[in-house]
Amino acid sequence: MKYVIVSGGVLSGLGKGVTASSLGVLLKSAGLRPTAIKIDPYLNTDAGTMSPFEHGEVFVLDDGGEVDLDLGNYERFLDVNLTRDNNLTTGKVYSKVIEAERRGDYLGKTVQVIPHITDAVQDWIEEVAARPSDDSGAKPDVCVIELGGTVGDIESAPFIEALRQFQFRVGPENVCFVHVSLVPVIGVVGEQKTKPTQHTVKELRSLGITPDMLVCRSERPLEDDVRDKLALFCHVSSEAVLSAHDVSNIYRVPLLLEEQGVSQMLATRLGFELPEQRPLLDSWAQMADRVDGLSEEVHIAMVGKYTGLSDSYLSVIKALQHSSFEVGRKLVIDWIEASDLEDSPNKDNEAWSLLNKADGILVPGGFGDRGIEGKILAAGHARENNIPYLGVCLGLQVAVIEFCRSVLGWQGANSTEFDEATPHPVVVFMPEISKTHLGGTMRLGSRPTLFQVEDCATRRLYDGAGHVDERHRHRYEVNPALIEDIEAKGLKFVGKDDSGQRCEIFELDNHPYFVATQYHPEFKSRPGRPSPPFLGLLKAASGQ
């Protein structure tokens, strides 16, 4: 097993996840079978209870794991399916070690960070790296490990020590360390400054890890003298100082690294042969060119409550982008804070003008009651004005609430999440879900949805499949007792779970595209294989 370990310095948010994913693409194009692990040094067991403002979206895996959004990058770039164990947190490691201590596994020894925590981290990495992550069922050849946070953080220290030891456990010839750093430009002269990178590499080396490659983030390409200076001070060759400057789209990042000889460096460092033909890289180049060539715009109004941080909806954005490439349109997302729609009863503010000119409207998932009435207004606007609409999870629930209020005339219809005393509880708490714990207690992970009709828009988008497996993350559902009344008025629940009781997909009669899903289709969207409900929205929004 080969390991590529990606760390980051100076500040967070430099693009370690995209760098790690891009290295995985290069390794995969060389004929290796990749897998990936994300180490998050926070104490939370997983990302499930964190606000999207804290840490971006919560990405959900097939096994129901609620994990860091970087695992979404790995799945999309490498076309793999990971598990909850591919995301390693301080909380998980300490829980495991404390549990072993309580069982008496350490035979009376004093349990310490070194060796017990560091050994647990290494054992975890070795075990998870060997698990199959694609449909072949074969063991991976290479594992890309991303260490979250920034080198020098107090909470990353045990993980850095574990990775320092790890290179000797598996053999230094099987490990390649890649460090991502910032090269800022300061002052009117526009000079690229090397000092932050010098300091972060010095810190990393003082902890016992010497990087084999430096990936330097900057707006413009790295200048030759800057590259030579970094090589001199950071104990790497100049060829291994890589420029990761801004590019026109994310799919150019693997190609940018390839142009600088990264595949050859990885092959030399880890001891594998590079094949003559690498069709995967050719298809990435074609995709990057196609994305840059899109000019005709399609406007999608995204009505949410975390619109101040686009990472809160990263998978939704990616699913929209994948679909826009497929329909040959340049995607423009018009962000609308749901509560802004509530603030203007006469519909004359900027939020309403964006909604009015949208080619399609999307209401994504979310929690809590802020902005709910705004989302309900958006669903009603799409329904009444024949604007293509896609609701995801909460987006399905608000559309059902709006339909019951407006079409069935049920005054005060609501979800018991927002109004426990509602006279018409059209969305209710799921009976099997815990009311005392938040973490990992929702209906999570991949579940089957069975189509209830022979022919409908959604089933055609899924190529006529009788059932689909999609990922869920919710605590509330449409009240099964009211489905018959709702369907009688034209809102058809065309997909249900395997019990035949729970609503999974609805479509509205006599509307260009008014579709919602209780599951989150965005989590399984891939470049070149867009999520069917999102593709339907983009097709309808662009008149196709």
Q: Say which amino acid occupies 168.
A: F
- Which listed residue (393, 404, 456, 503) is catalytic? 393
Say how far apart CA 5 and CA 147 lie, in whole Å: 7
Tokens at 195, concatenated? 């000092």
> Tokens 């009344």 identify what position?
485
Taking each helix axis as running N to C, give the angle between helix 532-541 and helix 314-327, from 0 to 180 degrees, rounded to the nearest 10. Answer: 60
Is 299 among the catalytic positions? no
Is 522 among the catalytic positions? yes
Contact criterion met (CB below 8 Å) for 201 and 9: yes
Contact criterion met (CB below 8 Å) for 315 and 523: yes
The torsion defined by the Cα of 484, 487, 493 and 494, in degrees rounded to 10, comes to 110
Strands, E, within 174-271: which ranges? 175-182, 185-186, 191-192, 213-218, 241-245
Greatest CA separation for the chain: 74
H or E segment to which residue 6 belongs:
strand 2-8
Say how far apart CA 353 and CA 351 lie, in whole Å: 6
Say how far apart CA 363 and CA 348 lie, in whole Å: 21
Q: Cα Rg for the chain, rounded, in angstroms?
A: 25
Tokens at 259, concatenated? 């142009």
Is 393 among the catalytic positions? yes
Q: Of 278, 185, 292, 253, give the one whose Cα is nearest residue 17.
A: 253
Say how far apart CA 238 and CA 229 lie, in whole Å: 9
What amino acid positions are annotated as catalytic residues? 393, 520, 522
